[in-house]
Amino acid sequence: MKTLRKRSDFVDMQKNAQTFVTPGFIVQYAPKDQQDVVVGYTASRKVGGAVQRNFAKRRMRHLARLVLAQHDPACYVLVARRDMLTLPFERLHRDLQWALRRLKGEKKDV
């Protein structure tokens, strides 16, 4: 799994990606013709101070390792929301799986 680092990549994703909002985070998805899953993480000051933003990003990175590594190569950006700090991890995990199914157009439930 590769990580987005340049601001221009995040701006491109914001313009071109499909977006799905959950209580804990926002998922941006753009299918790409590449060999790796590419993920970007962001948490603004709306989430909290530096400690809270770092905690939110750690949770998102762990979610990505669990869920996104199993998906087809594509570009994803996870944007933390305030509830990322307080929601149970199992709920975040379930929300990410559900959001990806919706973004990719899959109809079956798990």
User: Radius of gyration over alpha carbons of the chain, in Å?
Assistant: 13
Greatest Cα-to-Cα distance within the chain, rounded to the nearest angstrom: 39
Tell me if residue 20 falls in helix, strand or coil.
Answer: strand
- How do beta strands 74-80 and 38-42 pair? parallel
User: CA–CA separation, 97 vs 1, rounded Å?
Assistant: 17
Q: 98: which residues sit within 8 A by CB, 6+ positions away? A: 22
Long-range CB pairs of 89-92, under 8 A, 24+ apart, other chains included: 89/59, 89/62, 91/24, 92/22, 92/24, 92/25, 92/59, 92/63
Domains annotated for the chain, with CATH where assigned, are 2-104 (3.30.230.10)
**What confidence tens digit (pLDDT) does each residue in 30-55 have?**
888 778 889 999 999 999 999 999 99
What local confidence, expressed as pLDDT, does residue 110 receive? 46
Global confidence as pTM: 0.88
Instruction: Read off the pLDDT of residues 9-19 as tens digits, 9 standing for 90 and up.
Output: 889 888 888 99
Q: If you average pLDDT over residues 57-70, what whole number do you get? A: 92
